[in-house]
Amino acid sequence: MLHGFTARRRFGLLGAVLLWANAGPAAETHPAPAADANLLPNPGFEEVADGLPAGWQTSAPSRMSVTTDAKAGKYSTVLEPREEPTWNDAIVRGNLRCAVTLQPGRYVLSGLVRGQNITKMVPACAVSRGGKREDIQPSLVLPGNFDWRPFRVFITLPADAEKVEPAFSLWFFGPRGQPCIATVDNLSLTPTTQTRNFIRNGSFEQTSIAGIPDYWRNTSRALYDPAQYDAKVVEDPAVSGKRSLCLLFDTPAYDDFARRKNFVQSMFVSPQRDRAYTLSVWLKSDPPGVPVDAILNWGSRQTFRPTGEWQRYNFTAVWVKKDAEASQGFVNFMIGGKDEIGKPFKAKVWIDDVQVEEGEAVSPWSAAPEDLPPDAEPQDAAGVAAQPPNLPPLPSLNAERAGAAPRIDGVLDEDCWQKGAGAGEFMGYQDRRPATATTVAKVAFDDQALYVAFTCRSTAAPRAEATERDGSALFGDDIVEFFLDPNPAGATYYHWAWNARGTTYDERITWDRRVMDVVGSTGKQVDREWNASVEAAAKTGPDGWTLEARIPLYQLAADCPDPAQAHANFCRENPANGEVSCWSFTNGSFHTPERFGRLGGWAPDLSAYRIDMSAPRFSRDWRHQALCGVMQVKAASGAAIVCDVAHLGGTETPLAVERQGDAVSFLVPNVLLGQAAATAGRMRVRASAPDACPLAERVFPVQAPPLWYFACSSLAFLEEKQIPAVAAVFLPVAETAELQVNLRLFKGWTPSDAAPAATAAPEAPAAPVYTQPAKPGRNELAFPFIELPAGYYTLVGELADRQGQVVATARRTVAIQPARPNYVRFNPRSFGLEKDGKPWTPVALGFARQQDLPAAKAHGFNMAWYSPLAGTNTAARGEPATFFPAATDAGVSVIIDFGSFLHSAKREKLTIDAVQEKLREFVEAYRQHPAVGFYQVLDEPEVQRGRKDAPICAAEDLTGLYAFVKKLDPYHPVFVNWGPSVAAWNDLSYTDFMAYDYYSTVISPTERTFDRHNYFDDNALRRTMETGKPFFKWVEFDHGCTELGVRLMRPVELRCVAYLSLINGARALSYFYHRPWNDDAWDEMTRIGTEIEALTPVLGAPDAEIAASCADSAVRVLLKFDQGKYWLLVANTAAQPKTAEVCLTHARFGEDASPLFAQPPACRELFGRASGEFRDGNLQLPLEPYGVRALELTPRN
């Protein structure tokens, strides 16, 4: 089932293999490849005519010229890309092109290039196969600004190509809005028989961070102590180039978990079924004979015992691939455990010139074509970049204009279906094997509708049981699917599916490009309540079935500014033979819009379906108990506007609408908003002007701004006689003056107001109602009590008018207990944590061993993760009886993670009662230990639910486990990590934190800001405000390097992310980093931890009625006020230096802002550098790339 986004994994394991091995040496030299004739005209650009290189052209508006600033010869060519392609509004491109005669086969393009803001180079050729044009476009990512460097790219023209167009282009890409210049010299395009090396950086010459090889990842999770474990790139000895990888192995006898030194690297290729791949590698060891396991594609392993001198080893594996989800190949090396007599040993192993090539022959080593030569390392280390997988070019299909609208009966006998070849040649969605059951799709159109037809061949009768529209049962049938991206530069695409009954499933997907490549998150919002007025019919025959569908254009027009740019894909799921196939190869999930093929020829007249209408701006209208939307409509003056709300499975509710000139306002009653919350907020307003544009309509999501937020302390002591709380009201002064805040306390447990259906009603009031007049912005409250028994209570906050009419309400659970030391609780006034009465910002280290705790504290960490009750996983880190005292001695608190135990409990088939008994024994034994900090119940339950080996993690199970642990120990928070899936963050009823981990903190070299962090943090902060819970962010800053093909973060970027997280609202951080303690990043963590500790009181200070802002979106700022001073945090999230102009203002909510300072304040840098200057009331701050600033601002009298 491929609907949604969890049915197909992008990264899977590989299956079984057949092996041949040659464990002996195969010594050889590295001869240079033979030179072939250069096929390009004027390759050095030495022939010049009218100031231009002879034989070369470009496309306007790009500019081409020659310059004498050449690397080789007298001249080189300069290209200024200026074209702005519609498929990406952030990029400009331009090309150099020439006429050249090519034949099917392999070619190598090489040359010299220099760039200013040049981020990618793409050589391009075109071929014809099956009567269709295909573009062959390998790419090479570049660092932006760089001096002369050589490059080399492989180009493969398919052997079955019927024709190769006599043209060659070299495209260059760069960011729009910046000067982009590419200078090229000494080009060469030559035929070659050389096989490519699939392994990036196989000679370890590229190191973005000193000693760490790019594209290689150490996967052992316990490699922290450099005295016992080390792995780094060294400059001597080496087989070729200057560097090799040295693995130093010194294993302790007690630590079975860390008995191997393990490096792994992804191959950027989709291995082919039943095809042989050969791994070759140069090895030497000290002492000789150390066992080294080489693994190719997981299942194929060969043990080599290298000598004391460099020798080459190899073996071949044929991929039998039993796992249908496998899509990536891996190469892996490890030093294996103990020697023959069972004792620990010490060893060094050097690795160099790793190569994986197709076939059984061993070729002389060569760099991957994407690698830079050793003598051309980038000046900017960000130049080491990931390459895309080896994917086929995007296919094309022409839509046919229908002379007459086809009758939708499933019989494809109309003229429009007799034209053109259609989209055939379906292939496996992961392995590209041709589908055995023929499927052909066609598209036709007129000015009213888009028509789609499928012909599906099958020897068996198609399964067609589903009859319910939009039901998930459809995906168990023989189905066809149609994906349409009407605007690749936009953020919306559509998905339809039909079975052989004509039953329809459809959905509209919006997505955010910033987070498409984040592991664990799609960045997509799926609207399954959207229903197109589609008409479909199917017809079954003896040799298969056909499907015919009509999709009206009025429902697509708003998302389709130019139909000529549309992309589409056609897919089939055939349960009869188990085939899952598609027309345009997606390399995984069908929901991959960047892999949709081109839909040409679609040129309907959409003018009748368009209406100039802005997206509404929403505000709260508490008097009418409604949400007010206001939009601008440029339709004919006086034309009536009709609005309704579509929600809850497609039902519609008309709205009250008022128009004054171009301004149109409407009200959405709060009762409808409550119904939308029950369906995860999927509510839309549909607007139309039937008199002016009868065929046009616009659909907008309802985005309800907060009316208020309410939070209270998670733990109150009987001796304190009060429960601290905060209510923030987001209304202007005049409206807020009519309101008050009521606090009511009830005996009983009410986890959240997010899931009222699953929450028992609280008991009778436990104390009188407390009332306080409301004011705009922050309202500090304290609910008083005199005598109450210890237990759990529900504090209900109400925003009401003076007549007692409740406008908004929220419920929060608070534990009232006797005072005792060693507690952690949420402080609503700082929206952070306090530990034993002091403000506290946790900085946690992921899964340290007991012996690592002193080093963790020394490097800025005040917490460490620990997994109890998890067998060998626990033993590897230390038993609780010794781990907790060691943490106390080191001054480190412990996050107790029950996730590993719950996994083992599932494998051992323990009942929930047995699980709770184990948890009870542990919590009761250690809950009063001074090292206890938090409890984590489970990691990413939304992801776990789809796994057979995962623990039980339905909502009711998590609610039960959360309440069980919370009632055993009310003095410490209990939480669930939700992971980076924003869609999973709706119900936080069984967690004390808004906690998520951001896997891809490692960044792509082509990224210029940390915009993806802001995307997640903004959503997390929204949920924090809605639920009154602190924001706990995990930073996994080496996880994902292999999966995403990106480099590790540099220390300056690591510090920027820490500050950015705090600015964006995080009040606790956790770091996962699997590197030796002598890594430079740990030194930076020492600095970060020290600074966060110093900033903790500031982070908890109020920020109401003051604000800091910067017009540059790449600069994020936070302003706080404490003890008569202002505190400003600034983070430059861009790779370029900035001079930020920070505007500091004072304003109550709903009022005009005024300058914060009448005269420049005294300005002091907290952590050691020159401060900025005030100019025209604003603070001017110079910022380095990814630079941060922390300043103290003191008003002058």
Residues 6 or more apart whose CB falls under 8 angstroms from that of 19 comprise: 300, 302, 315, 316, 317
824 located within any domain = no
Confidence of residue 763 (pLDDT cuts 50, 70, 90): low
pLDDT tens profile 386-398 = 333 346 788 999 9
Please identify which residue in the block is written with the tokens 């962090």.
1013
- Out of 608, 638, 668, a domain closes at 608
Dist CA 319 CA 329 (whole Å): 10
Same domain flag for 1057 and 1133: no
DSSP symbol at 786: S
Residue with tokens 């789609």: 452
Inform me whether the pLDDT recorded for 857 exceeds 70.
Answer: yes
Higher pLDDT: 494 or 776? It is: 494
CA nearest 231: which of 176, 244, 627?
A: 244
Inter-residue contact 262 to 332 (CB < 8 Å): yes
Instruction: Give a yes or no: residue 1 inside a domain.
Output: no
Answer yes or no: are the C-beta atoms of 586 and 444 closer than 8 Å.
no
Going by C-beta distance under 8 Å and a sequence separation of 6 or more, which residues neighbour residue 281? 294, 312, 313, 314, 333, 351, 352, 353, 354, 355
Strands 932-939 and 974-977: parallel
Measure the CA–CA gap between 1144 and 816, rounded to whole angstroms: 40
Q: Where does the pLDDT of residue 15 fall: very low under 50, low under 70, confident under 90, or very high at 90 and above?
A: very low
Domain CATH number, residue 119: 2.60.120.260
CA angle 954, 957, 963 (to 5 degrees): 140
Q: Is residue 7 part of a domain?
A: no
Contact status, residue 120 vs residue 149, Cβ threshold 8 Å: no
508 and 594 inside one domain: yes
Structural domain count of the chain = 7
- Structural domain contains residue 12: no
Give the β-pairing of 276-286 and 449-457. unpaired
Is residue 388 in some structural domain? no
E strand or H helix at 1175, and its extent?
strand 1173-1175
**Torsion sign over Cα 961, 966, 968, 972:** positive
> Residue 949 has what pLDDT?
53
Identify the bridge partners of residue 72 per DSSP, sorted by sequence position.
Answer: none
Token pair 């701006």: residue: 617
Nearest to 417 by CA among 433, 432, 435, 404: 404
Query: What pLDDT shows up at residue 760?
Result: 42
Tens digit of each residue's pLDDT (9 = 90 or more) over 1133-1191: 887 889 999 999 887 666 677 888 888 888 899 987 667 788 888 899 999 988 999 99
Same domain, 182 and 255: no
Same-domain pairing of 415 and 542: yes
What number is the average pLDDT over the span 65-81? 89
pLDDT at 661: 85
Q: Kindly report the pTM of this predicted structure.
A: 0.61
For 158-162, the CB contacts below 8 A with 24+ separation are 158/104, 158/127, 158/129, 158/134, 159/104, 159/105, 160/104, 160/129, 161/104, 161/127, 161/128, 161/129, 161/134, 162/127, 162/128, 162/129, 162/130, 162/131
Cβ proximity of 715 and 814 under 8 Å: yes
What are the tokens at 747?
A: 């005996």
Residue 164 has pLDDT above 80, yes or no: yes
Comparing C-alpha atoms, which of 992, 1103, 962 is closest to residue 713? 992
Closest listed residue to residue 897, CA positions, set 849, 847, 853: 847
> Is residue 31 scored above 80 in pLDDT?
no
Same domain, 445 and 486: yes
Beta-sheet pairing, 168-175 with 91-98: antiparallel
Q: Within this chain, do residues 1050 and 947 fall inside the same structural domain, yes or no?
A: yes
Do residue 231 and residue 377 come from a single domain? yes
What is the per-residue DSSP string for 955-986? HHHHHHHHHHHHHH-TTS-EEEE-TT-GGGGS
Tell me: do 23 and 70 sit in the same domain: no
Q: At what angle do helices 955-968 and 912-926 cross, to 10 degrees?
A: 30
Fill in the amino acid letter for 300.
S
Instruction: Give 303: exposed, middle or buried? Use CB within 10 Å, 0-12, 13-18, 19+.
Output: exposed
List pLDDT tens digits, range 834-852.
Answer: 999 999 999 998 878 898 8
**Interacting residues of 152 by C-beta distance below 8 A, sequence separation 6+:** 108, 109, 110, 367, 369, 373
The pLDDT value given to residue 1049: 66
Alpha helices in 563-613 (DSSP H): none
The SS3 assignment for 15 reads: coil
| CATH code for position 1166 | 2.60.40.1180
983-1006 pLDDT per residue, tens: 677 778 788 888 887 654 444 433
Cβ atoms 896, 935 nearer than 8 A: yes
Q: Is pLDDT of 679 > 60?
A: no
In a domain, 988, yes or no: yes
> How confident is the model at residue 887, as a pLDDT?
96
Phi/psi at 841 (5° precision): -115, 105
Element of type H or E holding 526: strand 524-527
Please provide the average confidence, as pLDDT, over all residues in the chain.
79
pLDDT per residue as tens digits for the range 524-551: 667 776 777 899 999 999 999 999 999 9
620 and 719 share a domain? no
**What letter does residue 59 receive in the DSSP assignment?**
-
Residue 772 contacts residue 783 (beta carbons within 8 Å): no
User: Residue 721 maps to which CATH number?
Assistant: 2.60.40.2550
Torsion of CA 557, 562, 563, 566, to 10 degrees: -110
Query: Among residues 521, 6, 589, which one has the least CA distance to residue 327?
Result: 589
Check whether residue 206 and residue 350 sit in a common domain. Answer: yes
42 in any annotated domain: no
Q: What 8-state DSSP symbol labels residue 395? A: P
Please state, as a whole number, how many other Cβ atoms lie within 10 Å of the Cβ of residue 135: 16
Q: Are 712 and 728 in contact (CB under 8 A)?
A: no
Contact 274, 319 (CB under 8 A): yes
* Domain end position, chosen among 1046, 1077, 1099: 1099
Is residue 51 scored above 70 in pLDDT?
A: yes
> Is residue 490 domain-resident?
yes
Lookup: tokens for 774: 């409301």
Nearest Cα neighbor of 1048 from 207, 225, 144, 389 is: 207
Statement to judge: residues 253 and 140 lie in one domain: no
The CATH number linked to 551 is 2.60.40.1190
Environment class of 803 (CB within 10 Å of its CB; exposed 0-12, middle 13-18, buried 19+): exposed
* Co-location of 870 and 935 in the same domain: yes
CA distances from 755 to 35, 752, 791 (A): 71, 6, 22
Residue at which a domain ends, from 646, 671, 695 = 695
To 5 degrees, how large is the angle CA 853–CA 855–CA 857?
Answer: 70
Q: Using one digit for the tens of pLDDT, what is the confidence trace for 172-204?
A: 988 766 778 999 999 999 988 766 787 878 888
Lookup: tokens for 925: 């034994």
Q: Are 930 and 822 in contact (CB under 8 A)?
A: yes
968 confidence band (pLDDT: 50, 70, 90): very high
> What is the domain range of residue 746?
708-819
H-helix or E-strand spanning residue 736: helix 733-736
Rounded distance between C-alpha atoms, residue 771 and residue 809, angstroms: 14
pLDDT of res. 599: 94
Which tens digit of pLDDT belongs to each residue from 434-443? 888 899 999 9
DSSP code of residue 209: B
| DSSP label at residue 613 | B
